Amino acid sequence: MTQSALGQLLARARGPMGPDIDLDFGVESGPLAELGQLITRMNGFFAFNAGIQVFRVGEEGLGHDMLSWNTGEVWKDTYGGLADDLFCFGQDIFGVQFAILGRDQVVRFNPETTATTLIGNSLDDWAQWLLADPDINGANSFAYAFQKENGPLEPNERLVPLQFFSLGGSYDFDNMAVHDAADAMQIRGPIAQKIHKLPDGATIHLSAE
């Protein structure tokens, strides 16, 4: 029997990040049902040299708790409602969020611009997308090279470009700062509100408060 894309991803994962848990979101089908099954099988994990993280669920464990992650006070309040419709279940090394939108869409959320990109209608679609190009979609080679030179990230840490990618910043290592993942999102939130819906080529003015 051919293994599903999600099964292939789990075979390459490092986890779990939290104790065993039986997670049920109260729906019978769709991405949320799949997510409950995934976390029940492996409660949080990293893949592609920690280029990809799926959050654990529960009070104990490594990295951020998925349910707390989706509350306003952790980081979403800094986005002024622009991320409220998303249930984020994971992220890449740069803090790009993977989320469920509505009941049937799995999307990629850009934390700098708030743009959402449809990946598919299931977590298996998401896993297939990651496996199709681990270096581009999963930050595999970058995560390996960065951590080889700078040391491993802690489970709660992600990278923030000193000059945002959306504002012309590069992927050079010297443009990267290590932050707690929640702090990293809070840094981006107020700027993302300014960038949101700006036309291409518009000038954005940033000031320290």
| Mean pLDDT, rounded, for 112-117 | 96
pLDDT digits (tens, 9 = 90+) for 174-209: 999 999 999 999 999 999 999 886 666 555 555 444
| Mean pLDDT, rounded, for 38-64 | 98
pLDDT of 94 reads 98
| Mean pLDDT, rounded, for 40-67 | 98
Tell me the two tokens of residue 109: 């959320």
pLDDT digits (tens, 9 = 90+) for 122-163: 999 999 999 999 999 999 999 999 999 999 999 999 999 999
Measure the N-to-C terminal CA separation of the chain; round to a whole number of Å.
58
pLDDT of 209 reads 46
Contact 78, 190 (CB under 8 A): yes
Query: What is the Cα–Cα distance from 166 to 10, expressed in whole angstroms?
Result: 32
Query: Given a cut of 80, is residue 50 above it in pLDDT?
Result: yes
**What pTM value is reported for the model?**
0.93
- Mean pLDDT of all residues in the chain? 94
pLDDT of 196 reads 83
Residue type present at position 14: R
Query: What is the Cα–Cα distance from 152 to 55, expressed in whole angstroms?
Result: 18
Contact 188, 195 (CB under 8 A): no
Higher pLDDT, 75 or 203: 75
Query: What is the Cα–Cα distance from 149 to 75, expressed in whole angstroms?
Result: 29
Query: What is the Cα–Cα distance from 71 to 173, expressed in whole angstroms?
Result: 31
pLDDT of 205 reads 52
